[in-house]
Structure 1
């Protein structure tokens, strides 16, 4: 009976861990605003993405915002801004604010958003802070009171993707409770077991199997996201860079899990070997 209880507890712990680890990663790196900003901030340093980002920001300040008489004066300044946007002193802060505003649009409760933002039904990236940086440079150079839009939303996905994200953001924080449940199940299995080395080895082997499963699932999820098309060049570059960064980040979590699994498996086998050697002399002495 003790062996059965121990085996069931190990299986329950592995099932909980299988869901808990990806859920915690999603919560820390995507759902939580500070984690999302820290995770995606390096994307703004990619040269190709920077070029497309600058072009999109400058292009949003079209002719309708510039008097016709000043077009010849402002156009060279806008072209210069497109080339130098990412080297401006205010670019890091503007990019960070872009990420924060985008995160709030995608994750905040609908009642906390402005009325115009609540109408967004797909994943979006708000480039307004970057446009404001360009507008300020133009205003400083020409004394033209150029006003940047409060929002410039770039669609990153389809409405169904927004619905998936809403469900994921609601479920992801539960990963910590699931992880605690997995640890309790493993502890129960260890206490109830007749052969504790088998529990350690079983948990270790199970974690190694989970690591392989997480790798396959992450590759499949990344491929599914990459295959979606938004029709916007900036969005496509952001998406591809984001998927690559997410894959690399989660791969580190998988590596840690694999190392832990390997250590537990080795510890179980060593404990089995040591226990077997102790029993042999005792039997011979009789």
Structure 2
């Protein structure tokens, strides 16, 4: 009977762990605005993103000049300025701040506006163009950057994304992740308490972590196709920027899964040691 109870609690522990790892990762890195901003800042250190953002800023400056009656004949000069800007140490922080509006669009619906522009997923690049290094160049052209200059990430006609679509996730996400972690710990302790052998129970819990880590890796590989479909909804230079952002998120998820696998390995080794010590003590008696 104890074996059946321990087995049941082990299965429940494995299921709870399979839910708590991705839920906690998503809460910390995607649902949380600060976590998403930190992810964006880390991605902004990638040279591929820096080049794509420099190209986008160059296009925006050229468009501003055209709208103000200027014909920019030397785009290489502007591109040199934007390249220098995106490679300076202050760029990741500003890119992170600009991405907060994209996060609020999806998770809080805080950017919906009466003119209908709030129906598009946008990144505000005006703070970047107001950086002193770029503003000096614009000043030479006698151009003023508007207070808001939002670049669309998705095209409404091609996307089912809507403002505030994940608002409920932002509300309940923290509770779900915390609850899943608590349930995992409770079931793990019940597994240890019910099992006849603590060593074997530890090994079983380690196997749970190994299964969850391996399943997570497999899930990410399978899900890559769906991620690519989502990336195809982006436009222009934002496609490359989004690709780097997704790559950074994947690397973070892989790190969490690796930690889960490592924890599983440690528990298996610890369980074997405990079982061996228990066997030696039993013989001595």
TM score, norm. by length of structure 1:
0.82
Kindly indicate whether residue 64 of structure 2 is the aligned counterpart of residue 83 of structure 1: no
The Cα shift of 1:119 comes to: 4.9
C-alpha displacement of 1:155 = 1.9
Is residue 137 from structure 1 mapped to residue 136 from structure 2 by the alignment? yes
> Is 1:53 matched with 2:31?
no
**SS in structure 2 at match of 1:60:** helix
- Alignment partner of 1:221 out of 223, 237, 251: 223
Q: Give 5+ residue unaligned stretches, structure 1.
A: none
In the superposition, relative to structure 1, how do residues 262 and 94 fare at CA in structure 2: closer, same or farther (>3 Å)?
Answer: closer
- 1:230 CA drift (Å): 2.2
Q: How far did residue 179 of structure 1 move? A: 0.5
SS in 2 for 1:233: coil
Aligned to 1:11: 11
The secondary structure found in structure 1 opposite 2:135 is helix
The answer to whether the aligner puts 1:26 opposite 2:23 as a matched pair is no
* Count of residue pairs brought into register by the alignment: 274
CA offset at residue 118 of structure 1?
Answer: 7.1
More helix by share: 1
Q: For residue 241 of structure 1, report the CA deviation from its aligned partner.
A: 0.9
SS in structure 2 at match of 1:45: coil
Give unmatched runs, 5+ long, in structure 2: none
**1:176-255 paired onto structure 2 within 5 Å:** 176-228=178-230, 229-230=232-233, 232-255=235-258
- Structure 1 residues 148, 132: closer, same or farther in 2, change over 3 A? farther
Q: Which residue matches 1:105?
A: 105
Contact kept in structure 2, 1:125 and 1:156, CA below 8 Å: no
Match of 1:155 among 129, 144, 153: 153
Question: Does the 8 Å CA contact 1:18/1:210 hold for their aligned counterparts?
Answer: yes
- Please say if residues 126 and 148 of structure 2, whose CA atoms lie closer than 8 Å, have aligned partners that are also in contact: yes
Larger radius of gyration: 1
TM-score (norm 2): 0.82
State how far apart, in whole Å, the 2-side matches of 1:14 and 1:98 are.
39
Q: 1:195 to 1:231 in 2, by over 3 A?
A: closer
1:183 is displaced (CA, Å) by 0.3
Contact between 1:127 and 1:153, CA under 8 Å: does it hold in 2?
yes
The offset of 1:178, in angstroms, is: 0.6
| CA deviation after TM superposition for structure 1 residue 266, in Å | 1.7
Partner secondary structure for residue 153 of structure 1: strand
Deviation string, structure 1 residues 64-107 (Cα, Å, up to 9, x no partner): 5212xxx25x554x642322224237645532321222222232
Match of 1:275 in 2: 278
Q: Alignment partner of 1:102: what SS?
A: helix
Q: Over aligned residue pairs, what C-alpha RMSD do you find? A: 2.9
Per-residue CA deviations over 1:101-136 (Å, capped at 9, x if unaligned) read 2222232x22x3351597544644333323444873
Secondary structure at 1:125's aligned position in 2?
Answer: strand
The 1-side partners of 2:255 and 2:172 are apart by 22
Q: Could you tell me how far apart the structure 2 residues matched to 1:164 and 1:7 are?
A: 40
Structure 2 vs 1, CA of residues 51 and 279 (structure 1 numbering), >3 Å: closer, same or farther?
A: closer
CA change 1:46–1:201 in 2 (3 A) is closer
